[in-house]
């Protein structure tokens, strides 16, 4: 190649820029931006649920923080998980939770967490839950709360109620509410949290839900795993697809997904069908998929799935 052509390629293409020619940028002056880094990492979505309240209020909804702490004395399984899962979730989960709760204290009235606050059970993770929530936590557990040691667990995780029984006593020490079903009325709105971490609900949960309906109050259902909707599934496939290129196609609707059990299990199927025509249901708050998606569930309720708090995501919901 002639030198002139070579130089033309280096200097004339306009594609690559030598880093040595980048301009020097001035460093931040902390006196100009004293709050830099405090909240700017938070990414909040905003939604409004119209109920017709006399007294509006707001809630910060977060989910899927996936704390991955372990004390040095906690044994080799916990140390292995601490190393690998902290890498998976980026290592900033506690900062994300702290930023979110600090924001909530200042700008909203209540906080709801819809599960996978911890990635697996450890003394260090439980201590973080107590540190940040005390006994004021309201919300739902996720599938990860029920996992002693993820893939290293013995016995292996099974998606049945009996598997949860192995952890109920341990979790009850940390999460001071009925893990399966609990409710709290705030300004006339009945927040009901249920455990649906393996996609199904139990006859007992359904019975208790019907008892709550008798109170005649508007209901916000809080749970970890969303109810299947076509557009949630499309968004989920685009986010989670491991196949190169599939993210950029319109995701097909796959009724053979892990959500299929919601239609195969008669108790869950009937509960979902009933909820779709229950006028007191005003909204559903959930997580698990690590993406923020809003999709209509019923004539009176939108399902709000929020992205992972480990990514500094959350959503502020105003109830009016």
Rounded CA-CA distance 181/193 in Å is: 6
Interacting residues of 12 by C-beta distance below 8 A, sequence separation 6+: none
Interacting residues of 94 by C-beta distance below 8 A, sequence separation 6+: 67, 69, 128
Report the residue number, 48 or 258, with the smaller CB distance to Fe ion.
Answer: 258
CA pseudo-torsion sign 148, 172, 86, 315: positive
Among 51, 85, 122, 142, binds Fe ion (CB under 5 A): 142
Q: How far is the CB of 288 from Fe ion (least distance, A)?
A: 4
Q: Which helix (H) or strand (E) holds 55?
A: none
Among 116, 119, 145, 195, binds Fe ion (CB under 5 A): 116
Token reading at 144: 């990860």
Q: How far is the CB of 287 from Fe ion (least distance, A)?
A: 7
Residue nearest Fe ion (C-beta atom) = 288
**Interaction between residue 288 and Fe ion (CB under 5 A):** yes
Q: How far is the CB of 64 from Fe ion (least distance, A)?
A: 6
Using the rule CB under 5 A, give the single segment among 46-54, 271-279, 284-292, 304-312 that binds Fe ion. Answer: 284-292
Q: How far is the CB of 143 from Fe ion (least distance, A)?
A: 5
* Residues within window 54-73 making contact with Fe ion, judged by CB under 5 A: none
Using the rule CB under 5 A, give the single segment among 55-63, 111-119, 172-180, 183-191 that binds Fe ion. Answer: 111-119
Report the residue number, 110 or 120, with the smaller CB distance to Fe ion.
Answer: 120
CA pseudo-torsion sign 59, 60, 63, 66: negative
- Give percent helix, percent strand, percent coil of the chain, each to the nearest 5: 40, 20, 45
CA 47 from centre of chain: 16
Rounded CA-CA distance 278/301 in Å is: 9
Contact 213, 280 (CB under 8 A): yes
Number of residues that bind Fe ion (CB under 5 A): 4
Nearest-5° Cα angle at 195, 193 to 196: 120
Using the rule CB under 5 A, give the single segment among 77-85, 115-123, 151-159, 308-316 that binds Fe ion. Answer: 115-123
Report the residue number, 143 or 303, with the smaller CB distance to Fe ion.
Answer: 143
Using the rule CB under 5 A, give the single segment among 22-30, 52-60, 137-145, 302-310 that binds Fe ion. Answer: 137-145
Report the residue number, 116 or 196, with the smaller CB distance to Fe ion.
Answer: 116
List residues binding Fe ion (CB under 5 A): 116, 142-143, 288
């Amino acid at each position: 190649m002639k030198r002139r052509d070579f130089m033309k390629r280096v200097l004339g293409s306009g594609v690559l820029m030598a880093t040595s020619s980048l301009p020097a940028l001035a460093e931040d002056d902390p006196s100009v931006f004293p709050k830099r880094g405090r909240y700017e990492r938070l990414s909040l979505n905003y939604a409004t649920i119209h109920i017709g309240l006399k007294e509006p209020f707001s809630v910060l909804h977060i989910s899927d923080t996936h704390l991955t702490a372990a004390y040095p004395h906690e044994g080799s399984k916990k140390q292995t998980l601490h190393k690998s899962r902290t890498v998976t979730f980026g290592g900033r989960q506690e900062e994300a939770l702290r930023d979110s709760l600090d924001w909530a204290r200042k700008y909203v009235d209540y906080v709801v967490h819809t599960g996978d606050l911890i990635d697996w059970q450890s003394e260090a993770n439980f201590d973080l839950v107590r540190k940040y929530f005390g006994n004021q936590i309201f919300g739902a557990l996720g599938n990860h709360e029920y996992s002693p040691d993820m893939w290293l667990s013995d016995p292996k995780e099974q998606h049945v109620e009996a598997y949860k029984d192995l952890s109920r006593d341990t979790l009850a020490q940390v999460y001071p509410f009925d893990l399966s079903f609990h409710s709290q009325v705030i300004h006339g709105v009945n927040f009901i949290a249920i455990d649906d971490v393996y996609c199904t609900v139990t006859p007992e949960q359904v019975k208790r839900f019907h008892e709550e309906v008798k109170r005649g109050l508007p209901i916000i259902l809080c749970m970890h795993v969303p109810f299947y909707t076509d557009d949630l599934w499309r968004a989920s496939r685009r986010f989670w697809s491991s196949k190169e290129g599939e993210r950029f196609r319109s995701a097909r609707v796959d009724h053979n997904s892990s959500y299929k059990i919601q239609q195969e299990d008669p108790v869950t199927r009937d509960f979902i069908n009933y909820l779709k025509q229950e006028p007191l249901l005003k909204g559903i708050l959930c997580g698990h998929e690590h993406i923020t998606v809003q999709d209509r569930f019923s004539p009176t309720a939108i399902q709000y799935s929020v992205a992972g708090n480990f990514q500094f995501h959350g959503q502020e919901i105003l109830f009016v």
